Amino acid sequence: MPLLPAELAFAGAGNPYSAAYDDIYHGVGDPLAHSRHVFLGGNRLLGAQARWHGRRRFTILETGFGLGGNFLTTWQAWRSDPQRPRQLHFFSVEKHPFRVEDLERLHLQLPEVADLAAQLRAFWPSLVAGFHRLHFENGKVTLTLIFGDARTAVPSIGGRFDAFYLDGFAPAKNPEMWSQELINDLAWLAAPGATLSTWTIAGDVRRRLASADFSVDRQSGYGFKREMLVATHPGNPHIADLAPSPECIAVIGGGIAGIACAERLAARGCAVTLFERHDTIAAETSGNRQAILLPVLAVDPTRLSRLNQEAFFYALRRLRELAEAGHGVTWQPCGVFQIARDAEHARKQAAIVRDQQLPGDFAQFIDTAAAESIVGTRVSGDGWWFPQAGWISPVSLATALQAAGGERIECRLGTRISALEPTDGGWNILGTAGQCLWNGDTVVLAHAHGLRELSQSAHLPLRCFRGQVSHLPAGQLAIWPRSVVCREGYLAPPHDGLAGLGATFQRSQDLGAHAADHESNLGRLAALLPDAAGHFDPAALTGRVGLRPVSPDKLPMVGALPLPHCEPRPPAHVEWPRWPGLFVASGYGARGFVWAPLMAELLASQILGDPLPVGNELAAAVDPGRFAWKGTL
């Protein structure tokens, strides 16, 4: 269903009000004081005995983000507590999120946390359904917003939670938010000793909490509410105790997949040793001059389109976070215009934007005339306009990620790996002479086609697709598009005197550049820009060839590496037995720079036991074990 934003309104006393639910967003009085009393106090997160003291990680799940007051108050409390946990994960589900301009107006009521509110708004996502992970405080505070209905969103969450904030509209106004099914889903996610608090004392809510194994008590309320509810949960046996987090991890592969994983692990405090066979990182396909950041849309949102959209938004936020941390990346959010293949495709494009009610800051359908005014040159038809999309310098992103990891990432360049050797406590990484280069308990395989050369991962159904990009001299075309233009191929605006045109897609391992492929790319150019045909000689062009690792279903392979065989056959691929301490990040295909940041965050979360940045269904969609279960290995 389309995501419907909240409509800003105010009640008589000036409190934010929802006409859809005929209820106010917070009670009369100071909303931050209300949040401290009910949610932080109710979950025992304040004072000398705060439950999160000394923890490596503390996790909170909230139903009803609203203005964000509970998150901002919790963030403020975390920031001011010298015994705070090293990492704070805050999940919040919101069916009707506010537009950022409305949040700016609403946050005027919260001057005490004005600086935190400004940071929140600066990274506020486009109002598109799904998971949106935002990082603050150099990654120590992570907010995962889930835009959608709580009935379907909460069951999709992967993780365990130490505290719950139940802050939806009143049970009489919004009964679905307080249903037995939803409360059961929350209980399923409860870590041992989890606590819960809510301002409501409705009898139905008390009974439903008790039936889900919460021990419920009443405490003094806030303001005109004389009482509130607090509860504890013993935790669930289906959630195993977390194993000790590995402190030292090896990543094999210095392309974008590997360096992104290394950075996400380093951000969590791990010491990472990165092995790369070349003398520099991003030396193969990740070394192309320009890569395109572009989302995927579908008539009926598929796992591919949903995950790709979440990855697209996460990649954009990571670029901004890197820049704010002083690790600038060369990129241009110049927009991408995706031309329809034909009239029927144009009708489908228009219907997708209309029927899914996509926000204009994410996707628009525009006609040829509007496109030409934006792009700045003639184009061959109507299509989608993605204003936040653009192109990126792959090497600059890899370099920025390496710099962000700092001393926690040790790069061993020019080092070839010949084998992995299991040990009692983990793995030995062996060099070409059989010598042990590294020993530890956790290894990430992110070296693309090199996975097929290791006995433990040789069974993965990775396919190799060759892609040749043509470099067009900027001086040979009078008018270049101001944005990326794509159809079956793409053209990026010139950068350092050359424009990237691509790309071929052939099942081959041939690394040679061929004039015939330049000619094929020029055919794509003519289909994009009518005025560009005939300006370039394919025999005179330079270019670059990369080999892309592609999975059979075109989705990445990210997660614990499955064993090649298993008897008896498990009922689902998530139960397929795995190599202990061995993980994979590959299969990114032609969209590696969209996939890599979110897939790295997913893998780091899996390795270290953090709540996942995507829903369970999408995490399963990229699980490399899916092929073992289907029998396609």
d(CA 152, CA 57) in angstroms, rounded, equals 26
Instruction: State residue 238's pLDDT score.
Output: 62
Structure confidence by residue, pLDDT tens digits, 35-63: 999 999 999 999 999 999 999 999 999 99
Closest C-alpha among 573, 575, 574 to residue 631: 573
Residue 80 has pLDDT above 90, yes or no: yes
- List all residues 6 or more positions away from 203 whose beta carbon is below 8 Å from its beta carbon: none
- List all residues 6 or more positions away from 421 whose beta carbon is below 8 Å from its beta carbon: 427, 428, 429, 430, 436
Instruction: State residue 632's pLDDT score.
Output: 56
Residue 573 has pLDDT above 80, yes or no: no
Residue 437 has pLDDT above 90, yes or no: yes
Q: pLDDT band for position 23 (50/70/90)?
A: confident
Instruction: State residue 244's pLDDT score.
Output: 64
Instruction: State residue 241's pLDDT score.
Output: 53
d(CA 105, CA 102) in angstroms, rounded, equals 5
Beta-sheet pairing, 248-252 with 291-293: unpaired
CATH 3.40.50.150 boundaries in the chain? 17-233
* Measured CA distances, 53 to 47, 229, 557 (Å): 10, 23, 37
Q: What is the pTM (predicted TM-score) of this model?
A: 0.96
d(CA 414, CA 263) in angstroms, rounded, equals 20
- Which of 19-28, 377-386, 500-509, 597-606 is predicted with the least confidence, judged by mean pLDDT? 19-28
CATH number of 292-393+464-550: 3.30.9.10
Phi, psi of 177 (to 5 degrees): -70, -15
Structure confidence by residue, pLDDT tens digits, 129-164: 999 999 999 999 999 999 999 999 999 999 999 999
Structure confidence by residue, pLDDT tens digits, 303-322: 999 999 999 999 999 999 99
Nearest 5°: the CA angle 246, 249, 255 is 145
Amino acid type, 89? H
- Provide the sign of the torsion angle of the four alpha carbons 345, 348, 350, 353, taken in this order: negative
Stretch 403-427: mean pLDDT, rounded? 96
Residue 232 has pLDDT above 90, yes or no: yes
Structure confidence by residue, pLDDT tens digits, 163-177: 999 987 788 888 888
Give the three-class secondary structure for 301. Answer: coil
Instruction: State residue 572's pLDDT score.
Output: 77
Instruction: State residue 24's pLDDT score.
Output: 75
CATH 3.30.9.10 boundaries in the chain? 292-393+464-550
- Which of 121-125, 359-363, 532-536 is predicted with the least confidence, judged by mean pLDDT? 532-536
d(CA 558, CA 460) in angstroms, rounded, equals 12
Stretch 83-96: mean pLDDT, rounded? 97
Residue 243 has pLDDT above 60, yes or no: no
d(CA 187, CA 124) in angstroms, rounded, equals 29
Instruction: State residue 253's pLDDT score.
Output: 97
Superfamily of domain 248-285+395-459+578-624: FAD/NAD(P)-binding domain (3.50.50.60)
d(CA 331, CA 290) in angstroms, rounded, equals 9
Residue 425: is it exposed, middle or buried by C-beta count within 10 angstroms (0-12/13-18/19+)? exposed
Answer whether 544's CB lies under 8 Å from 471's CB.
yes
The yes/no answer on whether domain 17-233 falls in CATH 3.40.50.150 is yes
